[in-house]
Amino acid sequence: MQPVESISIKELTEMSAKMSEPLVKAVVDVARRSLVVDAGLHADEEFFLLEEGSKQQDLWGINLWPENFGTDDFVEFDSMINIRPAQGNRSRGVDDPEARMTVQEIVAEKVHG
């Protein structure tokens, strides 16, 4: 697991080889505009960011599908850490359109072809 300032699709593809599916789990902190990748569970990345000072309400779990880079299917909003009824998010996705957009912007800033 590592926080990233910049990461290539090639690096993500190599990370995805360790998973049961060709994806990379990631957690985005929308307030701090940070991205952590390369853990078996979103919860591990979430814990790492919380230990680094992130706030729970700012963290969103996603999956990155390197083979789909450049398409709408590159970022998948699906993680158990996203289920937060008290925050108005009742699904494993990210229900708030503004939060989804921010997550996508941060991923676009950090991931390159």
- Among residues 25, 28, 95, the alpha carbon closest in space to that of 59 is found at 28
Range 43-71 average pLDDT: 97
pLDDT at 24 over 90: yes
Q: How many residues does the chain have?
A: 113
Total count of domains within the chain: 1
3-state SS assignment for residue 39: coil
Mean pLDDT of 78-89: 96
The pLDDT of residue 113? 86
Domain ranges, residue 14: 2-112
Rounded to whole angstroms, the Cα distance separating 12 from 91 reads 26
At 20 the pLDDT is: 87
